[in-house]
Amino acid sequence: MTTVDVHTLTGAYALDALLDDERAEFERHLAVCEACAREVDELRATAGRLGLATTTSAPTGLKADVLRRIKNVRQEPPRAASPPPTTTQRAHRRALTRYALAACLAAVVASAGIAVWQHQRADTARSQAQSAQRENQQLSEVLSAPDAKATSGRLAGRGTGTLVIARSRNKAVFVASGLARPPAGKVYQLWFDDAGRMRPAGLMDPARSSEAVLLSGPVDRASGMGITVEPAGGSTSPTSVPLAVMSFPVA
């Protein structure tokens, strides 16, 4: 200990890397050195934050590659003893240590942020895929149901629409073909006709001219459906004259 500047041991002490006699002597110094005590607290806090970072497994073969390359790396010669640092040099070293730890922490936080963002994107994509899969499964069940009934009609322009009802599934599917694109900022919206009261039943993709849509909601209270042009995002009630109104096929 007498050959080592005690002020340079803050990092080793914070990480519990001192021998017993070194720790005891440093703790005696710590009791009277406010600067070292403050630096130890800062280093411990930083080390704790770094410990929260998610680790990454080393690439396969990294150990073998290091052992192979180390044979060609020359060992550094012993370094001559340096004179004890001045007070200014000690302060400069402490500042550099804090800057280096801050940079490491910033890198860890940035990496963690990227990992969280990537994880969120993956979760969103997975959720969307699962939702689409469930909808496609329900759509297929309606179309293939033993009691499925269909009725067709003309839409405004040259489009045609087919409505398929499966009361055993309490669901309906609307299949459109040759549908013209809606005006910019508009979308085709589907509605259930509940005894004259129109209930939202879903939106169609404005970029597609042919589409099969699983109507959202049960069909048990409805007697038919309609399709209107609405603002993007849909409306709570129709704001335009229906392009078509179709009655449910008779059971």
Give the residues of the chain that fall short of pLDDT 70: 1-4, 15, 44-63, 66-132, 156-157, 251
Query: What's residue 1's pLDDT?
Result: 45
Residue 9 lies in a domain: no
- Counting the structural domains of the chain, the total is 1
Query: CA-to-CA distance for 23 and 173, rounded, in angstroms?
Result: 76
CA 127-129-132 angle, to 5 degrees, is 110
Per-residue pLDDT tens digits for 156-186: 667 888 888 888 899 998 888 888 889 999 9
Query: What's residue 117's pLDDT?
Result: 52
SS3 161: strand
Query: CA-to-CA distance for 45 and 212, rounded, in angstroms?
Result: 58
Residue 198 lies in a domain: yes
Summary mean pLDDT of the chain: 75
Q: Which two tokens stand for residue 209?
A: 């001219």
Residue ranges making up the domain that contains 212: 149-247
Residue 156 lies in a domain: yes
Q: How far is CA 105 from the centre of its chain?
A: 22
Residue 205 lies in a domain: yes
Residue 154 lies in a domain: yes
Residue 74 lies in a domain: no
- Taking phi first (over 0 means left), then psi (-120 to 50 degrees means alpha), and beta for anything else, what does residue 61 get? left
Residue 172 lies in a domain: yes
Residue 217 lies in a domain: yes
